[in-house]
């Protein structure tokens, strides 16, 4: 069943650039791209359907490669406190922060977690996101991490999106292991992770490497277990302080290291050499009113791929629009709109290990694309919020939004 999509311009995002084809056409066959090019070069063929895109700009479906979008409750009261001058670290130290979301998540049923997550993720889908990564990390024991990961798997069955699940059991210390962080890491490595993986619930492993979470030595212990299970790794690193987590991640060939405000030039070089993607999270930077910028110039200079993501979570980035994050990536981090768009397409695909199938529009790749009613691709980054008119195509099928 070949479908012809005509009367459009296409930003393929190959090589991290718009790589525009004006007056273009695309042919999809089932879930994949069969042909793409200038319309005048369209080979003569028979099509089961022809879809007129009315001069839209077509981009790959957006990829949100770092979210914590499954959680119980929310932390708006904490937000108020922070605005009165209490810091994120102080709130965490006094039993709030991640710990309060852990309590709410443990109390919630699978059904409740799924229902609240779907509301948030639908916002991202409507904004043009067709692939999303979702982390566990608010359960912090076997039963509750499993509950979160099961909910993440159910999202794949409910929404027309590709969903990758990441086990972030090493997000914070659960109350049961107070002052015993080494023992908790051992528990994750010996019990939780192997079991959760065996149940088919885990696509990657992540940890929070930070002075208020886990040390590089503890993270390394976890990475060794992930490696022995053949699971790809990612890391929250250098968000609040410089511990060399991003260099450690690079040494273990991590898919990505994320946040990175406090990374050093040596970290950048290590990531460049390993091909580890830098995932920047402007929503968390903005929401925590951070002043330390990730080293953009150095990342560019050493050729590190830069992805952008919403980090959707209740504490540091309650972000329901990836386009708004793209705007922040440009205004706060001075990425060009083209670099920003590459950051939520091709580079984000690399951050999830999905580059063979997702992230650019090329023959053989999955036909996930957005047809935007705009004059130029930079408009996707330019508008602040709102609902930009678009058509969303996932796996070769237009979805109604």
Closer Cβ to Fe ion, 53 or 351, answer by number:
351
The answer to whether residue 208 forms part of the interface with ligand NIG (CB under 6 A) is yes
User: Rule CB under 5 A: is residue 210 a binding residue for Fe ion?
Assistant: no
Alpha helices (H) along 200-355: 216-228, 245-251, 265-274, 282-287, 296-301, 322-333, 337-343, 346-351
Between 36 and 167, name the residue whose CB sits nearer to ligand NIG.
Answer: 167
Among the listed ranges 39-47, 94-102, 329-337, 377-385, the one in contact with ligand NIG (CB under 6 A) is 94-102
Instruction: Note whether 338 binds Fe ion by CB under 5 A.
Output: no
Binding residue for ligand NIG (CB under 6 A) from 236, 305, 350, 365?
236
Residue 189 backbone dihedrals phi, psi, to 5 degrees: -70, -40
Nearest distance from C-beta of residue 50 to ligand NIG, angstroms:
44
CB 214 within 8 A of CB 185: yes
* Residue 282 interacting with ligand NIG (CB under 6 A): no
CA dihedral 62, 68, 69, 70 (to 10 degrees): 140
CB of 313 to Fe ion, least distance (A): 6
| Cα–Cα distance for residue pair 321/283, rounded to 1 Å | 10
User: Is residue 51 within 8 Å of residue 36, measured between CB atoms?
Assistant: no
Segment interacting with ligand NIG (CB under 6 A) among 34-42, 112-120, 261-269, 309-317: 309-317
Using the rule CB under 6 A, give the single segment among 57-65, 93-101, 193-201, 365-373 that binds ligand NIG: 93-101
- ∠ at Cα 228 (225, 232), nearest 5°? 80
Contact residue for ligand NIG among 12, 28, 59, 101 (CB under 6 A)? 101
Nearer to ligand NIG, 25 or 283 (CB): 283
Each residue 52-91 as x (binds ligand NIG by CB under 6 A) or -, in order, gives ----------------x-----------------------
Site for ligand NIG contains 313 (CB under 6 A)? yes
**Of the two residues 146 and 236, which places its CB atom closer to ligand NIG in the complex?**
236
24: closest CA among 58, 60, 47, 62? 58
Nearest to 287 by CA among 326, 319, 258, 316: 316
Could you tell me where the DSSP H helices lie in 127-276?
Answer: 142-158, 181-187, 193-198, 216-228, 245-251, 265-274
Please give the structure tokens belonging to residue 192.
């939780």
Asked if residue 311 binds Fe ion (CB under 5 A), the reply is yes
Interface residue list for ligand NIG (CB under 6 A): 68, 97-98, 101, 208, 236, 239, 284, 311, 313-316
Interface residue list for Fe ion (CB under 5 A): 311
């Amino acid at each position: 069943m070949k479908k012809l999509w005509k009367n459009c311009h296409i930003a393929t995002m190959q090589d991290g650039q718009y790589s525009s084809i004006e007056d273009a056409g695309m042919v999809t066959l089932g879930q994949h791209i069969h042909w793409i090019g200038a319309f005048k070069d369209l080979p003569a063929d028979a099509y089961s359907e022809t879809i007129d895109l009315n001069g839209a700009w077509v981009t790959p479906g957006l990829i949100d490669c770092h979210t914590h979008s499954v959680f119980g409750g929310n932390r708006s009261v904490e937000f108020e406190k922070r605005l009165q001058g209490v810091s994120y670290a102080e709130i965490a130290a006094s039993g709030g922060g991640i710990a309060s979301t852990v309590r709410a998540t443990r109390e919630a049923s699978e059904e409740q977690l799924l229902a609240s997550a779907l509301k948030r993720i639908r916002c991202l889908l409507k904004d043009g996101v067709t692939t999303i990564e979702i982390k566990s990390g608010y359960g912090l024991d076997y039963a509750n991490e499993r509950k979160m990961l099961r909910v993440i798997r159910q999202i794949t069955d409910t929404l027309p999106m590709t969903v990758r699940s990441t086990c972030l059991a090493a997000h914070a210390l659960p109350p049961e292991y107070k002052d015993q962080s080494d023992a908790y890491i051992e528990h994750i490595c010996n019990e939780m992770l192997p079991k959760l993986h065996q149940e088919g619930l885990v696509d990657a492993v992540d940890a929070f490497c930070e002075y208020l979470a886990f040390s590089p030595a503890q993270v390394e212990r976890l990475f060794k277990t992930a490696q022995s299970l053949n699971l790809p790794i990612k890391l929250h690193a250098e968000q609040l302080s410089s511990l060399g987590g991003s260099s450690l991640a690079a040494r273990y060939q991590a898919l990505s290291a994320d946040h990175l405000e406090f990374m050093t030039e040596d970290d950048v070089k290590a990531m460049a050499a390993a091909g580890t993607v830098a995932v920047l999270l402007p929503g968390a930077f903005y929401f925590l009113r951070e002043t330390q910028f990730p080293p953009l110039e150095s990342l560019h200079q050493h050729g590190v791929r830069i992805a952008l993501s919403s980090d959707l979570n209740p504490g540091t980035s309650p972000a329901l629009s990836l386009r708004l994050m793209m705007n922040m990536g440009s205004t706060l981090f001075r990425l060009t709109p083209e670099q920003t768009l590459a950051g939520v397409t091709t580079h984000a695909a690399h951050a999830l290990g999905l580059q063979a199938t997702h992230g650019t529009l090329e023959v053989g790749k999955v036909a996930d694309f957005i047809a935007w009613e705009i004059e130029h691709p930079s408009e996707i980054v330019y508008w602040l919020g709102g609902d930009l008119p678009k058509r969303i195509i996932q796996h070769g099928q237009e979805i109604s939004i």
